[in-house]
Amino acid sequence: MHTLTGSCICRNIEYELKLASINDARTSICHCRNCKKAFGTNYGLTAKVPKDALHLTKGIPKEHVADNGSGALIHREFCENCGSFILEYGDVAKDHFRYICVGSLDDPEALPPRGSSSARIERAGCQRFRTYSTSRR
């Protein structure tokens, strides 16, 4: 059993992920316009996990529901106090999966990206970013 923890910035919302295998989580990058708006950057980074693997251990997130840009509803949950984005899910997935914001994990490196969606609208800067060395001298 793999247990991962996460929270919002102010720690009013905390959660645990209990995964039978680390492969039960699928982390991916999405470049759709809706994810760009929600994450405030050029892509969204979420880990798809089984709904029953997620356990809130502190607090109750606020929910916002809106059209995802293609006519389907998307539910986003965040901390009402600090505004940290915790998770999202669409109506199709709501009974089975949650998409955890990887940045809310205490150890985000535990779930590295394994895929990408909406790559056809990926910004050119993201391609340069992948090859850019962050070690500055």
pTM of the model: 0.82
- Please give the Cα distance from 79 to 55 (Å, whole number): 16
Q: Cα-flanking dihedrals φ and ψ of residue 129, to 5°?
A: -60, -40
Q: Tell me which CATH code domain 2-130 carries.
A: 2.170.150.70
Question: According to the model, what pLDDT value does residue 3 have?
Answer: 98
Residue 25 has pLDDT above 60, yes or no: yes
Residues 66-123: tens digit of each pLDDT: 988 788 899 999 999 999 999 999 999 999 999 999 999 999 999 988 766 544 444 4
Closest CA to 93 of 50, 136, 131: 50
Please provide the distance, in angstroms rounded to a whole number, between the alpha carbons at the two ends of the chain: 41
Residues 46-63: tens digit of each pLDDT: 999 999 999 999 999 999
Structure tokens at 118: 């909406």
Q: Report the SS3 class of residue 104.
A: helix
Q: Are 34 and 69 in contact (CB under 8 A)?
A: yes
Q: Are 116 and 30 in contact (CB under 8 A)?
A: yes
Identify the band that residue 30 occupies on the pLDDT scale cut at 50, 70 and 90.
confident
Instruction: Give the chain's radius of gyration (CA, Å).
Output: 15
Q: Report the SS3 class of residue 122.
A: coil
Question: According to the model, what pLDDT value does residue 129 have?
Answer: 44
Reported as type and span, the H/E element at residue 14 is: strand 14-19
User: Domain extents for the chain?
Assistant: 2-130
Identify the band that residue 15 occupies on the pLDDT scale cut at 50, 70 and 90.
very high
Question: According to the model, what pLDDT value does residue 33 have?
Answer: 84
Query: Average pLDDT of 24-41?
Result: 89
Q: For a pLDDT cut of 90, what percent of the chain falls above it?
A: 66
